[in-house]
Amino acid sequence: MNVGNCPECGRLYMKTTLGMCNDCYRLEEDNEKIVAEYVRDNPKCSVEAIHKATGIKEKTIFRMIKNGRFMDAGEISFPCESCGKPIYEGRLCDKCNTNFINQVKESDVARAAKTKEDEERRRRSGMYTKNMIR
């Protein structure tokens, strides 16, 4: 039996692909209709504006966008997870994404250099007994 606590209300429920209890899922469907209507009336709005106008939690709106619940999600802006700049897709803005990729590349180069240095050190270390025998 796969039982867990609902991430929204905290009640016990049988885990399903919905990721929440049936009551919270129905409430989210109702909230989706409210948000969709607001977005239709106010194109190019932000998640914060939707939250202020509808009272629906930002976390819920983000989950709806991530799950592809809106056809026009490209019209809803939300903050970059790194710098907070408004974006329309993904998790990072172009600048932060480029910065992240560069950091990963630098890390890979540093790791490769360290590995090469360690291999060289292991190759040089060892016990030389030729000079000790008389």
Residue-wise pLDDT for 95-113, tens only, equals: 999 999 999 999 999 898 8
pLDDT in tens, 1-36: 688 999 889 999 998 888 889 999 999 889 988 988
* Cβ-based neighbours of 108, under 8 Å, separated by 6 or more: none
Single-letter code of the amino acid located at 117: E
pLDDT confidence of residue 55: 93
Mean pLDDT of the chain: 84
Sign, CA dihedral 93-95-96-101, equals: positive
pLDDT tens track for 59-70: 888 888 777 776
Asked whether residue 126 carries a pLDDT value surpassing 90, the answer given is no
By percentage, how much of the chain surpasses pLDDT 90?
Answer: 25
